[in-house]
Amino acid sequence: MAQLWQGLTAEEWDTPQVVVHRGRLQDNIASMAAFARQHGVQVRPHVKTHKTWEIFAMQQAAGAVGLTCAKLGEAEVFLQRGVKSVLVAYPLVGTRKLERLFELMTRFPAAEVQTIVDSPERAAELAQAAAAQGVELPVWVKVDSGLRRVGVSPGAPAAELVREVRKLSGLRLLGLLTHAGHAYGAASYEQVAEIGAAEAGCLLETAELLAAEGVTGLGISVGSTPTVKVSGAVPGVTEIRPGNYVFYDATQVRLGVATPEQCALRVLTRVVARPEAGRIVIDAGAKTLALDKGAHGSDAVAGHGLIVGHEGAVIERLSEEHGVVRIAEDSPIRVGDVLEIIPNHSCPVANLTDELTAIGEDGSLETWNVIARGKMR
């Protein structure tokens, strides 16, 4: 605990509070950048994890070529700060979304705004709208590598969509993109690694089909945080888009992707009651920790977070503002103590707080606003 607040006592903290350990954060960013350099791939981190300018600036300084986000409202706040390349990796459907996309392209002419297409119908719709605006929209063909969410199947169907997109004026094809989010449901790191190999493999096989027709030079974009060290190392991959790696969390620990020490985001919470020897109540509930027990619907983590230094304690249930924790009846934990929790999923935790408290290795404190928090549209 000490290293998280040199010079500060528990009494001085108001709780709950979402803190980021700067040294760990910098290490995580640097090691992903080193991995990318080693394998000659570009990093386009997904900013949904932190939604914070200070952290993206660190990723940019480490070589990120741009960013990935899910919402136009997220793209806007980063474009306003001068980011030059933004991928909105989400199907943009409906008149208002297309109007807003073109508004952004007009407001930020020096920036490139990329998006995805996942079907011939959406490709035709986007192409028509872009042509009507007299713009050319850079798009990735979104491939479903097994998450079974959005995307076209790899191989022949993906190749066919590429041919369609190449025919359409208004669209500029960037390449093939996938997100192997199903890795979050894996039972072991071996399974994660298999999924990572297949994630890159299915895009590269599709690219080979097209190369045989003379369609070459396609970008190949992969990389969820669990799989990226495998899929990002496959020759032929050009870009990786990990997000969670800046913070990691108890889900990544469960998957064998990170150690608890690497987890840079922690929730500081106070013990507000000990109604029984074996039960304490903390002031971090679902409104702070979120209810995630994994990601993408995976439900594999036990409890609602890891309490650092109290591995036997189990966060059994969360109300919005209370966490109910089972502890040993002889535990020294006392009402008023501050505990440090590694959450199950750091992304929603960052989305639930207006600010992050960044703690330097010297104990210095900085407040970072979560500028893209809650941009639901």
Closest distance to its own copies from the beta carbon of 212 (Å): 26
* 132-164 burial: b if 16+ Cβ within 10 Å, else e: ebebebbbbbbbbbbbeeebbebeebbbebbeb
51 binds its own copies (CB under 8 A): no
Closest distance to its own copies from the beta carbon of 59 (Å): 19
* Other residues' Cβ atoms within 10 Å of the Cβ of residue 354: 11
Which tokens sit at 120? 């011939």
358 binds its own copies (CB under 8 A): no
Stretch that binds its own copies, among 13-21, 76-84, 170-178, 248-256 (CB under 8 A): 13-21
119 binds its own copies (CB under 8 A): yes
367 binds its own copies (CB under 8 A): no
Instruction: Show the site string, 248-277: x = touches its own copies by CB under 8 A, - = not.
Output: ----------------------xxxx-x--
Instruction: Show the site string, 319-348: x = touches its own copies by CB under 8 A, - = not.
Output: xxxx-x----------xx----------xx
Give the nearer residue to its own copies in terms of CB position, either 62 or 77.
77
Out of 64, 83, 290, 371, the only residue in the binding site for its own copies (CB under 8 A) is 290
Stretch that binds its own copies, among 30-38, 52-60, 92-100, 207-215 (CB under 8 A): 92-100
Cis amide bond preceding 16, omega within 30: yes
- What part of residues 193-212 is at the interface with its own copies (CB under 8 A)? none
- What part of residues 20-39 is at the interface with its own copies (CB under 8 A)? none
Give residue 59's identity as a one-letter amino acid code. Q
162 binds its own copies (CB under 8 A): no
* Other residues' Cβ atoms within 10 Å of the Cβ of residue 103: 12
Half-sphere exposure of 308 (CA within 13 A, CB side): 23
303 binds its own copies (CB under 8 A): no
* Other residues' Cβ atoms within 10 Å of the Cβ of residue 329: 9
Residue ranges of E strands in the chain: 17-21, 42-43, 67-69, 85-88, 112-117, 137-143, 171-178, 219-222, 239-240, 265-276, 279-282, 306-307, 314-318, 323-326, 338-342, 355-359, 365-369
CA distance 298 to 195: 15
Decide: 178 and 142 in contact? Cβ < 8 Å.
yes
Residues that bind its own copies (CB under 8 A): 10-17, 48, 70-71, 90-91, 93-97, 100, 118-119, 121-122, 144, 148-152, 181, 270-273, 275, 279, 281, 283, 286-288, 290-292, 295-297, 316-322, 324, 335-336, 347-348, 351-354, 374, 376-377
